[in-house]
Amino acid sequence: YGARFVQTTEYATIHSEVPNLKAITPQKYEQERSSDQREDRLYDSVWSFSSLEHDDLGCYSDPLNPNGDMQTMTKLPCMLKPVGILVLTMPALTSGRISFNVHCVYGPI
């Protein structure tokens, strides 16, 4: 669809040889973002497909943080340009639960 640049964030290190595709760990993203606050570092869109519910539960060698998913969710709008688009999917049921240390399932919102 004509994207000039695509960046994916993953706990595991991914090596890409595709020129306009960058794979980065959350830790590296935070380091780069804190040292470079320019608006051109903001994204046109951010897409998350069933990933935030795994944040900070330790399953992927990430640190344990019971609020990690919510903290990540609050950061996502800050990554977007003023008219950016956020697409967020996650499992939802009639009641929420944590399946430690695999994922969270969210209740109604």
pTM to 2 decimal places: 0.66
Q: How does strand 43-49 pair with strand 80-89?
A: parallel
Amino acid residing at 70: M
Query: Of 32-36, 43-47, 95-99, where does the model show the most confidence?
Result: 43-47
Q: How does strand 97-99 pair with strand 103-105?
A: antiparallel
Q: pLDDT of 37-63, one tens digit each?
A: 666 678 888 888 777 776 666 666 777
Mean pLDDT of the region 73-84: 86
Q: Residue 4: is its pLDDT beyond 70?
A: yes
